[in-house]
Structure 1
């Protein structure tokens, strides 16, 4: 017998954009707090900077 796929409650679906926003905020804080000073001090190259941000 096939069962219908479980649909998460609306309250969980509403939380998804909030979680995504939180992740973006954490990445932004990481970039500002860690990567920017390293980049300005020439301790990471522009390419390394891009790779780190992309893979974060």
Structure 2
């Protein structure tokens, strides 16, 4: 089960979804403010996907 407050794990999953599991992980960014209706985990996925697309 995923911890909805785990930004780091969300970032890793989002990044690896784009770059693959063999890609080196970049530094985990600071956790941004979480808007209403989102969890820190979801924000991590969004940031990870953004970083993976750079």
Q: If you compute each CA radius of gyration, which structure gives the higher value, 1 or 2?
A: 1
Larger RCO (alpha carbons 8 Å, 6+ apart): 2
Instruction: State TM-score, norm by structure 2.
Output: 0.29
